[in-house]
Chains A and B, each alone.
Chain A
Amino acid sequence: MKKRAWLSLLLSSVLVLAVGCSGQKGAEGGGDKAAGFKLGLVTDTGGLNDQSFNQISWEGAKRAQKELGVDIQPLESKRDDDYIPNLTKFAREKRDIIWATGFKFEKVIPEVAEQFPNVHFGIVDSNLGGKIPKNVVAVTFKEHEGSFLAGVAAALTTKTNKIGFIGGISSPLIKKFESGFRAGVKAANPKAQVTVAYAESFNDVTKGRSLAKNMYNSGIDVIYHAAGGVGKGLFDEVKTRDKGKYWAIGVDMDQSGLAPDHTLTSMVKRVDTAIFNITKDLKEKKLETGKEVQLGFKENALDLAKSQHLKPDVMKKIEEYKQKIINGEIKVPKTEAELASFK
């Protein structure tokens, strides 16, 4: 009885000591590393290696490190709960710009930005509903325009005149992809039908695969996705099918590495370029924050990835449509309502 009490006392004191010591030492090591320009990047729950949005954002940060000598650090969010602590962590370190990748940060960025008025924040893929605090720069892309070209590519490649679209969580952002894509198909091949499915997730690979499987089995031969990690399932599925007959179109970055013989092309969103350019402008004090920056073909922020599978005549058509969009001849629809009136 007595000995047991001793044992517990001993153990708890060891624990307390361990905690206490570690704390003190840690406090010394927490100082600043360099005095230069510092960038922090907080990912959404997809993580840094999502082979999509977060990863390409990080590429931009890495380029800034290499070319501009910027000190960079990432923080991955495991749950939605982590967004505010992660942003705060960087803000407390007085990083010069803190990037939040993805529209999931829409609700938390204003809160943190208000609390740290002297720190700059960047959010990608959301304009915060138009109410952008003075120390925030909001970067959005004209994804509908890029998706339009993906639609043209799909429409001119399909043999069955059946085309699929897999979306992540249905939201205005992903609807932009869908609307643009369907408009592109409609413009280039009015006979083709587009089937739309949403996975209601950005990381459920299995769901992506089963959606793709159903689509291909129903006669669809080209599928475009805007679903982050879910898209990996699409590529897993298309790989198992006949070459040259079934196609997948990637999104955000050139995804042909996932299925080299089956990737028709990818709608590349140069998030890396955007992050690099804006970081650079901010470093050189050329940027005015507190507003939305919209990027499209003109800024070289969107494009279709180069691919051997796109035939020259298809490429020519795509180039034509691209010019028309840049000239403003074609106004690509952003929403379902606009799509309905699109001719």
Chain B
Amino acid sequence: MSQLNKQSTIVTALISIFLGIVVGAIAMQLAGYNAITAYQALFQGSLFQAFDLGETIRTTTPLILAGLSVAIAFRTGLFNIGVEGQMIIAQLSALIVGIKLNLPPGLHAIVAVLVGGIAGALWAFLPGFLKAVRGVHEVIICIMMNFIALYLSNVLIRNWLTESGADSTPKISPNASLRVDFLSEMFDHSRIHLGIVIALLMAFVMYYLLWRTKLGYELRAVGYNPYAAEYAGMNVKRNIIVSMLISGFFAGLAGAGEVLGTHGYIAIQSAFTGIGFDGIAVALLGANTPIGVIFSALLFGVLTYGSQNMEHMAQVPPELIRVVVAAIIFFVAANISGKLLDVVKTKRRAKES
């Protein structure tokens, strides 16, 4: 039974992606662009050269972690829409460690990454705590915490971390950087960094935790049915808080990777980057499984990074790629492929009988 489920989720995802790409192609044709050249440019621009491949992986890295973050909360029946805010706070904390501390190379990066993760976890603790103790819906708190994070970060950057009110902070110490020479060389000086290793490691951690430990069993049980879990003697409140902490930790690692690997500094942001929100879509498409998240994050990475090249080579506005993304999500959420499979199944049955 479980195998059947697994297979049908993969099929669902593939059918949805396929339909999404078709819908995107129709939209492009209707808008007067050549869909084939557009998709050519998309894939060619994201995968074919070492530099682009590196940048695609760089784009994918935070998406994996954001996806894992959303997925683990989903498994416990929580909707962590606050990944964005947790990432921002983690970014800020990792940056502060990266600028203000003076540690030997390697150790500095490890400390900064951990501080980032912990900061993200703490930022997620509050919504989890309020949900567990007071029954406040985590979505509301998370959304508000996103804005607090965004503006808090802007104020601190402006008034504390920059000189003379510049709009971006100084760069982190090279000791804290997640970029390593051999990776950069291998990918033609793109900004790929060790965050991808962390992301893949965390995917394994999530798998091990959820399916190989008692804690993971409890988390999933709370997600299936909190009342049953409580009746079985599990501490639901504690599990909700733990789930949010882990979720925030993953989000925090995503943020830390962005600042320590990709940028090396933070600029004042007037709006969210959207990575945290994309994480929701990644988790949905990946059916909340670690391996699914990795692949769907890769797809999103290719679409996001490749869309820039689509504009460059085929003059197709990158916004159209968001149509593809939205369509994919729509087909997954509406479970269109399930309906299709049902039709196939009934036909087959009709034939057999």
Q: Provide the residues of chain B in CB contact with A200, threshold 8 Å.
A: 154, 268, 270
What's the interface size class on B, roughly?
35 or more
- Contact mask A1-40 → B, CB, 8 Å, 1/0? 1011101100110110011001101110110000000000
* Contact residues of A between 94 and 137, Cβ < 8 Å to B: 103-104, 106-107, 115
- Most chain B CB within 10 A, of A5, A81, A86, A170, is at A81
What's the interface size class on A, roughly?
35 or more
The answer to whether residues A30 and B313 also contact, given A12-B14, A201-B270 and a CB cut-off of 8 A, is yes
A111 to chain B, nearest CB (A): 9
**Contact between B168 and A22, CB atoms less than 8 A apart:** no
Q: Could you tell me the distance between the alpha carbons of A169 and B271 in the complex, rounded to whole angstroms?
A: 12
CB closest residue in chain B, given A25: B40
- Is B129 part of the binding interface, using a Cβ–Cβ cutoff of 8 Å? no
Q: Could you tell me the distance between the alpha carbons of A85 and B307 in the complex, rounded to whole angstroms?
A: 12
**Contact between A7 and B348, CB atoms less than 8 A apart:** no
- Contact mask B9-21 → A, CB, 8 Å, 1/0? 0110011011001
CB closest residue in chain A, given B264: A107
The answer to whether residues A203 and B270 also contact, given A23-B40, A81-B262, A170-B165 and a CB cut-off of 8 A, is yes
Q: Could you tell me the distance between the alpha carbons of A81 and B193 in the complex, rounded to whole angstroms?
A: 14
B150 to chain A, nearest CB (A): 10
- Most chain B CB within 10 A, of A8, A92, A204, is at A8
Q: Could you tell me the distance between the alpha carbons of A25 and B43 in the complex, rounded to whole angstroms?
A: 11
**Contact between A26 and B40, CB atoms less than 8 A apart:** yes
* Contact residues of A between 142 and 182, Cβ < 8 Å to B: 169-172, 175
Q: Provide the residues of chain B in CB contact with A191, threshold 8 Å.
A: none
* Contact residues of B between 150 and 167, Cβ < 8 Å to A: 154, 158, 164-167
> Which stretch, B44-52, B100-108, B111-119, B235-243, touches the partner chain A?
B44-52
**Contact between A88 and B51, CB atoms less than 8 A apart:** yes
**Contact between A75 and B312, CB atoms less than 8 A apart:** yes
- Most chain B CB within 10 A, of A22, A25, A86, A170, is at A22
Q: Provide the residues of chain B in CB contact with A15, threshold 8 Å.
A: 14, 17-18
Q: Provide the residues of chain B in CB contact with A7, threshold 8 Å.
A: 11, 341, 344
Q: Provide the residues of chain A in CB contact with B305, threshold 8 Å.
A: 85
- Is B7 part of the binding interface, using a Cβ–Cβ cutoff of 8 Å? yes
A76 to chain B, nearest CB (A): 7
Among A8, A25, A82, contact of B7 (Cβ-Cβ < 8 Å): A8
- Is B220 part of the binding interface, using a Cβ–Cβ cutoff of 8 Å? no
- Most chain A CB within 10 A, of B36, B44, B191, is at B44
Q: Provide the residues of chain A in CB contact with B29, threshold 8 Å.
A: none
**Contact between A14 and B18, CB atoms less than 8 A apart:** yes
Q: Could you tell me the distance between the alpha carbons of A107 and B44 in the complex, rounded to whole angstroms?
A: 28
Q: Provide the residues of chain A in CB contact with B225, threshold 8 Å.
A: none
**Contact between A26 and B44, CB atoms less than 8 A apart:** yes
- Is A80 part of the binding interface, using a Cβ–Cβ cutoff of 8 Å? yes
**Contact between A172 and B309, CB atoms less than 8 A apart:** no
Q: Could you tell me the distance between the alpha carbons of A67 and B7 in the complex, rounded to whole angstroms?
A: 61
Among A4, A76, A84, A204, contact of B11 (Cβ-Cβ < 8 Å): A4
**Contact between A81 and B4, CB atoms less than 8 A apart:** no
Q: Could you tell me the distance between the alpha carbons of A78 and B318 in the complex, rounded to whole angstroms?
A: 9
- Is A89 part of the binding interface, using a Cβ–Cβ cutoff of 8 Å? yes
Q: Provide the residues of chain A in CB contact with B268, threshold 8 Å.
A: 169, 200
B19 to chain A, nearest CB (A): 10
**Contact between B48 and A23, CB atoms less than 8 A apart:** yes
- Is B131 part of the binding interface, using a Cβ–Cβ cutoff of 8 Å? no
Q: Could you tell me the distance between the alpha carbons of A19 and B40 in the complex, rounded to whole angstroms?
A: 8
A98 to chain B, nearest CB (A): 13
- Is A289 part of the binding interface, using a Cβ–Cβ cutoff of 8 Å? no
Q: Provide the residues of chain A in CB contact with B94, threshold 8 Å.
A: none
Q: Could you tell me the distance between the alpha carbons of A116 and B264 in the complex, rounded to whole angstroms?
A: 20
Q: Provide the residues of chain A in CB contact with B344, threshold 8 Å.
A: 3, 7
Q: What would 7 more interface pairs be, CB under 8 Å, given A29-B40, A85-B308, A202-B270?
A: A12-B14, A15-B17, A23-B40, A23-B43, A25-B36, A85-B52, A107-B168
A-B contact pairs, 5 of them (CB 8 A): A4-B7, A4-B11, A26-B40, A88-B51, A169-B268
Chain A residues with CB under 8 Å of chain B are: 1, 3-5, 7-8, 11-12, 14-15, 18-19, 22-23, 25-27, 29-30, 73, 75-76, 78-82, 84-86, 88-89, 92, 103-104, 106-107, 115, 169-172, 175, 200-204
List 8 tightest A-B contacts by C-beta distance, closest first: A201-B270, A26-B40, A26-B44, A171-B167, A22-B40, A8-B11, A11-B14, A169-B167
